[in-house]
Structure 1
Amino acid sequence: MEVKKDILWRVYLCFIGMGLFGVAILVKIFLVQNIEGNYWRSMADSLHTRYVSLEADRGTIYSEEGRMLSTSIPYFNLRVDFAADGLREKNGKRFTDNVDSLALCLSQLFKDHTQKEYKNILREGYQRKDRYFLLKRDVLFVQYQAVRNFPMFRLGKNKGGLIAETKNKRINPFKLLANRTIGLSRENAQNVGLERTYDNFLKGVTGKRLMRRIAGGTFVPVEGYDIEPENGRDIITTIDVNMQDIAETALMNMMVSNEAQHGTCILMEVKTGKIKAIANLGRQPDGSYWEDMNYALQVGEPGSTFKLATVIAALDDQYVSMNDQVNLNEGRLQIGKRTVFDSEPHPGQTNVSIKHAFELSSNVGMAQLAMRCYAKKPNEFVAHLRKLNLDKATGIDLVGEGKPVIKSTKSKTWSATSLPWMSFGYEVLVSPLQTCMLYNAVANNGKMMKPYLVNSIMEYGQPVKDYDPEVVMDSICSQNTLRQVKAMLEGVVTNGTGRALWTPYYKLAGKTGTALVANGKDGYKEKIYQSSFAGYFPANDPQFTCVVVIKNKANAVKFYGGAVAGPVFREVADKLYAIALEKQRPMRAAVAIDTLLAFKTGQGREWKTILNTLDLPMQGAVGNSNWVSPRVNGKKITFAAVKQAKGGVPDVTGMGLKDALYLLENAGMRVIVRGAGKVTNQSIPGGSLLERNQTIVIELS
Structure 2
Amino acid sequence: MIYSTLGNSQSFLRCSKRILIWLLWNRKNHQSLHKSKFMIKKRPSNIKSEKVLESKNRSRVLFIIILSLIVYMVIIAKLYQVSVTNHDYYVKKYKEQSRKKITIFSPKGYIYDRKYHKLAENIGFNMAFGINTKFVKNKNDLSERISAITGDDKGKYLKELKKKNGFVWVADDLTEKERLQVLNILNEDESSAASFKVTPNRIYPQGKTAGQILGYIDIDGKGLSGIEKEYENHLSGKDGWEYIFKDGKQKKSFGTETNRREPVPGNSVVLTIDDNYQAIVEDELAKAVVEWKGQKGVAIVMEPGSGEILAMASFPDFDPNKPGDYDPFARKNKAITDFYEPGSTFKSLSAAILFEEGLLNENDMFMCSNNGYKIGRFTIKDSHKNEVELMSFKDVLANSSNIGTLQALSRLDKNTYYKYLRDFGFGNKTELGLTGEVKGQLTKVKSWSQTTMPTMSFGQGISVTPLQLVTAYCAIANGGNLVKPMIVKGIIDQENRIIEKFEPQTVRKVISAEAASRVRELLRYVVVNGTGSNADIPGLKIGGKTGTSQKVTDGKYSKNSYDASFIGMVPYDDPKLVCYVMIDSPKGNIYGGTVCAPAFKNIVQRIYDDNRSKSYSDNAKGIKMLEVPNLTGIKTGEAEKILKQKGILFKIENEEETIAFQSKAPFSLIKEKELLVLSGTAKKSVTSQKLELTPSAVNLSAREAVKLLHSLDIETVIIGKGSVYKQSDIIKDQISGTDRCSLYCKLPELEKPQILAEKK
- The two structures have a TM-score, normalised by structure 1, of 0.63
CA distance in 2 between counterparts of 1:531 and 1:565 reads 7
Structure 1 residues 74 and 319: alpha-carbon distance in aligned structure 2, compared to 1, 3 A threshold:
same
- Given candidates 492, 504, 516, the residue that maps to 1:470 is 504
Aligned-CA RMSD value: 4.3
- Given candidates 526, 544, 557, the residue that maps to 2:577 is 544
SS in 1 for 2:331: coil
CA distance in 2 between counterparts of 1:589 and 1:206 reads 49
Contiguous gaps of at least 5 residues in structure 2:
1-61, 129-146, 151-171, 180-195, 319-323, 625-760
Name the amino acid aligned to 2:560: K
- Given candidates 391, 404, 411, the residue that maps to 2:440 is 404
Q: Is the 8 A contact 1:184 1:193 kept in 2?
A: yes
Quote the residue 1:569 is aligned against: 600
- Given candidates 81, 97, 113, the residue that maps to 1:31 is 81
1:344 aligns with 2:384: yes
Q: Is the 8 A contact 1:75 1:138 kept in 2?
A: no
Matches within 5 A, 1:181-200: 181-187=213-219, 190-200=223-233
Structure 1 residues 24 and 543: alpha-carbon distance in aligned structure 2, compared to 1, 3 A threshold:
same
Q: 1:591: Cα distance to partner?
A: 7.9
- Given candidates 454, 457, 468, the residue that maps to 1:423 is 457
CA distance in 2 between counterparts of 1:17 and 1:460 reads 72
Structure 1 residues 380 and 591: alpha-carbon distance in aligned structure 2, compared to 1, 3 A threshold:
closer
- Given candidates 376, 394, 398, the residue that maps to 1:355 is 394
Cα deviation 1:167-207 (Å, max 9, x = unaligned): 52111111111111122122267521111222212111122
More displaced 10-residue stretch of structure 1: 289-298 or 378-387: 289-298
Structure 1 residues 588 and 206: alpha-carbon distance in aligned structure 2, compared to 1, 3 A threshold:
closer
Name the amino acid aligned to 1:72: N
Q: 1:253: Cα distance to partner?
A: 1.0
Q: Is the 8 A contact 1:211 1:219 kept in 2?
A: no
Cα deviation 1:301-344 (Å, max 9, x = unaligned): 22222222211222212222222223323262332344423221
Q: Is the 8 A contact 1:72 1:170 kept in 2?
A: yes
Contiguous gaps of at least 5 residues in structure 1:
1-11, 79-109, 114-135, 145-163, 593-701
Name the amino acid aligned to 2:275: V
Cα deviation 1:57-110 (Å, max 9, x = unaligned): 1111122222211111113569xxxxxxxxxxxxxxxxxxxxxxxxxxxxxxx9
Q: 1:468: Cα distance to partner?
A: 4.5
CA distance in 2 between counterparts of 1:186 and 1:310 reads 45
Name the amino acid aligned to 2:416: E
Name the amino acid aligned to 1:54: I
Number of matched pairs: 500
CA distance in 2 between counterparts of 1:456 and 1:29 reads 64
Quote the residue 1:174 is aligned against: 206
CA distance in 2 between counterparts of 1:449 and 1:337 reads 41
CA distance in 1 between counterparts of 2:446 and 2:76 reads 86
CA distance in 2 between counterparts of 1:251 and 1:231 reads 37
- Given candidates 185, 189, 201, the residue that maps to 2:234 is 201
Q: 1:474: Cα distance to partner?
A: 6.0
Name the amino acid aligned to 2:534: A
Quote the residue 2:281 is aligned against: 247
Quote the residue 1:560 is aligned against: 591
CA distance in 2 between counterparts of 1:516 and 1:383 reads 25
CA distance in 2 between counterparts of 1:204 and 1:283 reads 29
Q: 1:529: Cα distance to partner?
A: 1.4
Structure 1 residues 424 and 227: alpha-carbon distance in aligned structure 2, compared to 1, 3 A threshold:
same
Structure 1 residues 440 and 219: alpha-carbon distance in aligned structure 2, compared to 1, 3 A threshold:
farther
Q: 1:264: Cα distance to partner?
A: 1.4
CA distance in 1 between counterparts of 2:212 and 2:597 reads 23
CA distance in 2 between counterparts of 1:77 and 1:478 reads 59
CA distance in 1 between counterparts of 2:173 and 2:443 reads 57
Structure 1 residues 479 and 235: alpha-carbon distance in aligned structure 2, compared to 1, 3 A threshold:
closer
Identical counterparts, % of pairs: 27
- Given candidates 266, 280, 296, the residue that maps to 2:335 is 296
Quote the residue 1:660 is aligned against: none
SS in 1 for 2:450: coil
Q: Is the 8 A contact 2:423 2:508 kept in 1?
A: no
Cα deviation 1:230-272 (Å, max 9, x = unaligned): 1112222222222112111111111111121111111112332
Matches within 5 A, 1:106-121: none
CA distance in 2 between counterparts of 1:293 and 1:580 reads 30
CA distance in 2 between counterparts of 1:214 and 1:293 reads 54
CA distance in 2 between counterparts of 1:219 and 1:399 reads 50
Structure 1 residues 247 and 42: alpha-carbon distance in aligned structure 2, compared to 1, 3 A threshold:
same
CA distance in 2 between counterparts of 1:439 and 1:329 reads 29
Quote the residue 2:700 is aligned against: none
Matches within 5 A, 1:509-524: 509-519=543-553, 521=554, 523-524=556-557
Q: Is the 8 A contact 1:60 1:70 kept in 2?
A: yes
CA distance in 2 between counterparts of 1:522 and 1:333 reads 23
Quote the residue 2:528 is aligned against: 494
SS in 1 for 2:596: helix
- The two structures have a TM-score, normalised by structure 2, of 0.58
Q: 1:223: Cα distance to partner?
A: 4.6
Q: Is the 8 A contact 1:178 1:291 kept in 2?
A: no
Quote the residue 2:565 is aligned against: 532
Quote the residue 1:307 is aligned against: 347
Quote the residue 2:362 is aligned against: 322
SS in 2 for 1:416: coil
Q: 1:44: Cα distance to partner?
A: 5.7
